[in-house]
Amino acid sequence: MAKLKQQSLQKRDNELASANRQLEILSNGIFKNGELPTFAKKIKETNEFPLRPKKLEILQINLGYMCNQVCEHCHVDAGPDRKEIMTWKTMQRCLEVIKNTDAHTLDLTGGAPEMNPNFRRFVEQASKAGIQDFIVRSNLTILRANKKYHDLPEFFKKHRVHVVSSMPHWTRGKTDKQRGEGVFDMSITALKELNAVGYGMPGSDLKLDLVYNPNGAYLPGDQVSMEKEFKSALLADFNIQFHNLFAITNLPISRFLDYLIASENYEDYMYQLVEAYNPAAVKNVMCTNTISISWDGWLYDCDFNQMLGLKVASKVTHINQYNETILNDRDIVISQHCYGCTAGAGSSCQGTVTA
């Protein structure tokens, strides 16, 4: 059993590696028999259907599903056995888009984006586009995984990259349980190295934010309170500093969906999400200001829709045809997983979406 968790669902030939199977599960059962309202029905109650984009603010680019970790909750089903990697040719197309976009934020994600062989070349080029906020989502352990990554903190600093890193808890036990044995200690070392070059320090413009997501079938607590707890514990125990904490809800897809079903928590979790539905969060869900680009150049409303294979409902569906005006005139594709972004204070790759 433990050995299996070292591999992605895809490698294990798990039925949930299929996006269609996931969508089937999310549309059947308690949603088909009417026990719970579908997301479409719910947002119709508050006149938010169909969801429509607002001004484009964030371009999120997934550089590939390869990762050095196999986290239990991963919505990407990333891991060392995933070979999907963005080519330099697609990156070049992305660079043209970055130069001309109206978005103020560029957000590179994965997998571990640093594992893409053209990662540095791409960051060097992209940083010249003068985009306001240039984020790289780093899992931290990659900075210690191999000597060739040891200078990444300096590299990030040189290109004024905003580092956003996953850190599920300030204790070893909870972190390792979710992300794998030894992850906590490696993450602590990586954070110290980022601090050492100036990342996350009070008043520093080298931004270091952490991402918290729950360790199981429950929703994240209040982001502000969690940030206080994280800050005081990491400072007291390890003398580590960071800027902001983003509390993110686990969406019921991919490996987290697999966990929910295997642990018989699926229905209770969906109840929690539906009961915590917050109409105020719907107004600011990230799909209304983001375009997600996959490793092979397809366009999606968000990273979660990317993993479910739900391409944008637009004439323009690929980076080769990229046109922001046409793209912004579309209905956002939804399913029941969207409840994850509208529960409580809301959830996005930038944390909660309500004040």
Partner 1 sequence: MANNYYDPADLKKFGKITEWSEELGNKFFDYYGKVFEEGALTAREKSLIALAVSHTEQCPYCIEAYTKDSLQRGVTKEQMMEAIHVGAAIKSGATLVHGTMMMNKVNKLEM
Q: Give contact residues for partner 1 (rule: CB under 8 A).
A: 169-171, 173-174, 212, 214-216, 218-222, 225-226, 229-230, 271, 275
In the complex, minimum distance from the CB of residue 230 to partner 1, in angstroms, rounded to a whole number: 8
CA angle 262, 263, 268 (to 5 degrees): 115
Nearer Cβ to partner 1, position 156 or 230?
Answer: 230
Measured distance CA(127)–CA(99) in Å, rounded: 10
Q: By the 8 A CB rule, do 354 and 345 touch?
A: yes
Nearer Cβ to partner 1, position 9 or 226?
Answer: 226
The residues, ordered by sequence, that sit 6+ positions from 50 with a Cβ below 8 Å of its Cβ are 331, 332
- Strand duo 208-212 + 162-166: pairing: parallel
In the complex, minimum distance from the CB of residue 225 to partner 1, in angstroms, rounded to a whole number: 6
Nearer Cβ to partner 1, position 312 or 343?
Answer: 343
Q: By the 8 A CB rule, do 105 and 113 touch?
A: no
In the complex, minimum distance from the CB of residue 29 to partner 1, in angstroms, rounded to a whole number: 16
In the complex, minimum distance from the CB of residue 71 to partner 1, in angstroms, rounded to a whole number: 18
In the complex, minimum distance from the CB of residue 250 to partner 1, in angstroms, rounded to a whole number: 12
Nearer Cβ to partner 1, position 224 or 262?
Answer: 224
Measured distance CA(215)–CA(246) in Å, rounded: 15
Give one DSSP letter per residue of 184-202, joined into a string: HHHHHHHHHHHHHTTTT-T
- Maximum alpha-carbon separation in the chain: 55
In the complex, minimum distance from the CB of residue 61 to partner 1, in angstroms, rounded to a whole number: 31
Nearer Cβ to partner 1, position 63 or 341?
Answer: 341
Nearer Cβ to partner 1, position 297 or 351?
Answer: 351
Nearer Cβ to partner 1, position 172 or 311?
Answer: 172
**Distance in Å from the first CA to the final CA of the chain:** 42
Q: Which residue is listed with tokens 């990762």? A: 67
For residue 19, what is the DSSP state? H
Nearer Cβ to partner 1, position 12 or 174?
Answer: 174
Measured distance CA(294)–CA(86) in Å, rounded: 8
In the complex, minimum distance from the CB of residue 151 to partner 1, in angstroms, rounded to a whole number: 33
Nearer Cβ to partner 1, position 131 or 233?
Answer: 233
Strand order of the β-sheet with 58-62 is 245-247, 208-212, 162-166, 133-138, 105-109, 58-62, 290-293, 299-300
In the complex, minimum distance from the CB of residue 220 to partner 1, in angstroms, rounded to a whole number: 7
Measured distance CA(140)–CA(188) in Å, rounded: 8
In the complex, minimum distance from the CB of residue 278 to partner 1, in angstroms, rounded to a whole number: 15
Count the Cβ atoms, other than its own, within 10 Å of residue 323: 12
Q: Residue 203, class by beta-carbon neighbours within 10 Å (0-12 exposed, 13-18 middle, 19+ buried)?
A: exposed
